[in-house]
Structure 1
Amino acid sequence: MKLVGRTVLITGASSGIGEAVARAAHARGATVLLVARGETKLKALAAELGIRAHVYACDVGDPEAVGLLAESVRADGRSVDVLVNNAGSGRWVSIEDASPEELLDMAKVPYVAALLMTRAFVGDMIERRSGRIVTVNSGVSRAVWPGAVGYASARWALRGLDLALKSDLRGTGVGATEIVMGTVSSSYFENNPGSEEHLPKIARMVPVITPAAAAEAICRGIERGRGTVIPTAQLKWVAWSSQHMPRMNHFMLWLTGARRSARRRAPVSPATPS
């Protein structure tokens, strides 16, 4: 699917990977619908991009808000060709160091948000027999390390959503793409203090990529109709070893991960999701 002339809706578009995807898709000739809670940043990005960029402020973890968003998009006469479920949040923290509210928030965004957004727009895609649902996921959905229970389990739920969509949408003309990212040079660690200390040493073999490089991988995956995109060779090896050598993979991540006795408790207040 070439992006020129298509309409691409991106959640979490106010910063990081989401902003970069909006820029990359727009540069390819797509109309971009920018979705996040922070309307000010979205408007600044839309003003910079100019034509073919439209703002829809929304809390994508709220079912009512997502319903109103879908109504607004349709009322504006727009049909979403590509949905990029990118919004996400969550600290890397041991389960006992997270409040119940924080654990629920980590499940809500990204997983519940992706579920709600997909439901809101996939019906129109099925009716047109054309479209693509894109799930932006983390390498922790393949290889789990200590000290990231809420975050990791939410990302595995995202992986399950992508696999379920691939099965459920077969033959409809609507495709599903999962993008599996390693560390991206965004503001994640700044917004989630204490998380970087939980990254296993062995995971540092996976190179850090820029949001722009991540966005290019996402756009190429959409255009080529790929089912799964893993941008770096090192992360591909991690994903392969988790499937074919799970005991070794799990042991190495545990061995080089943060020891429970040495973990520093992160601040109680997590960052607000985009």
Structure 2
Amino acid sequence: MQVSGKTVLVTGASQGIGAEAAFRFAGRGAHVHLVARSAELLDQQVKRITEFGGSATAHQADLADGDQIRALAEAVPTPDVLVNNAGVGRWLFLDDTEPDELLTMTAVPYLAALLLTREYLAAMRARGSGWIVNVNSPVSRVPIPGCVGYQSARWALRGLTASLRLDLRGTGIGVSEVIPGKVSSEYFVNNPGAEERIPGAARLMIPSVTPDRVAKEIVAAVEKERAEHLFPWQLKAFEISGRLFPNLTGYLAWKTGTHR
């Protein structure tokens, strides 16, 4: 898909991956709708885009709230590209996680992507075109200890992606899943303790990537119409190892991971 002249909606766009993805789509000639909870940070990103000659609009919304998702869909016409990037959640053992926090980390990313995609899907079907990108985490491929709530939501997002891909085959609507390795973004600052729970084997084997690199891969996934993209290559190798040697990979994740 050529993104020039298209409309793109990016969630979680106030900072990190979402902000960089919005900037790159705008740089490719798309009009970008940026969605996040912080109006101030969104305005900063819109200013950044427009100063470089791009076109962008900010929309403040908490995607953990179904009513706000519906209001967003009413305010923003059906985009050509929907990037479900928003995600929250600390990495905790299940019995260390309060029920309200479990509900929040399930609401975003999983329910936010599920409900927002649903809002636009009928119009995309009627139009016969569109592209959906779900940005996921490595823990949706290789489980690690001490991360139950967050990890479960990411596996649910993986299931949503696979299900949509089958449902939408032949409709003109494409679905991409982009799975980067550890990203050097504000996520680990906003969720203290998560970085320390990355298993030692993964820290040694898989280098970090920047939000700008992830944004580049998101845009490329749309333009090249890629169904799935894991990167860097070391993450892909780890994921293949998990499929071919699940017991060994699981043991390494447990042995070098978080224990009580």
Q: TM-score, normalised by structure 1?
A: 0.91
- Code of the residue aligned with 2:112 in structure 1: it is A
Query: Aligned partners of 1:82 and 1:188: how far apart in 2?
Result: 24
Structure 2 CA distance for aligned equivalents of residues 64 and 190 of structure 1? 29
- Counterpart position of 1:63: 66
Is residue 27 of structure 1 aligned with residue 30 of structure 2? Answer: no
Please give the alpha-carbon distance, in whole angstroms, between the structure 1 residues aligned to 2:122 and 2:241: 36
* 1:134 corresponding residue in structure 2: 133
Question: In the alignment, which residue of structure 2 is the partner of 1:243?
Answer: 243
Q: Indicate which of 59, 71, 76 corresponds to 1:73.
A: 76
Query: Percent identity among equivalent residues?
Result: 48
Shift of residue 190 of structure 1?
1.2
In structure 1, distance between residues paired with 2:199 and 2:131: 34
SS at match of 2:131: strand
**Cα distance in 1 between the residues matched to 2:116 and 2:243:** 29
Native 8 Å contact 1:61 1:116 kept in 2 = no
- Name 1:195's counterpart in structure 2: 194
Q: What is the rounded CA distance, in whole Å, between the counterparts of 1:62 and 1:189 in structure 2?
A: 24
Match of 2:88, SS state, is coil
Unaligned runs of 5+ in 2: none
How far apart are residue 61 of structure 1 and its match? 2.0
**Structure 1 segments of 4+ aligned residues over 4 angstroms from their partners:** none
User: Deviation at 1:187?
Assistant: 1.2
Partner Cα distance (1:219, 1:207) in 2: 21
* Residue identity matched to 1:90: G
CA shift, 1:44, in A, is 1.6
Which consecutive residues of structure 1, in runs of 5 or more, have no partner in the other structure? 261-274
- Following the alignment from structure 2 to structure 1, what is the Cα–Cα distance between the partners of residues 190 and 65? 22
The residue number in structure 2 matching 1:254 is: 254
Normalised TM-score (structure 2): 0.96
Distance 2:47 2:189 in 1: 26
Cα distance, 1:231 vs structure 2? 2.1
Comparing 139-148 and 35-44, the one that deviates more = 35-44
The answer as to whether partners of 1:30 and 1:52 remain within 8 angstroms in 2 is yes
Deviation string, structure 1 residues 145-183 (Cα, Å, up to 9, x no partner): 110000111100000000000011111110100001211
Structure 1 segment 209-228 matched on structure 2, within 5 A: 209-228=209-228
Paired with 1:61 and 1:102, the residues of 2 have a C-alpha distance of: 11
Structure-to-structure mapping, 1:127-166, within 5 angstroms = 127-166=126-165
- Quote the Cα distance in structure 2 between the aligned partners of 1:249 and 1:223: 33
Look up the match of 2:122.
123
- TM-fit CA distance, 1:212: 0.2
Distance 2:29 2:101 in 1: 39
Structure 1 counterpart of 2:76, one-letter code = V
Shift of 1:96: 1.3
Q: Which has the higher contact order (CA 8 A, sep 6+)?
A: 1
C-alpha separation in 2, matches of 1:127 and 1:200? 46
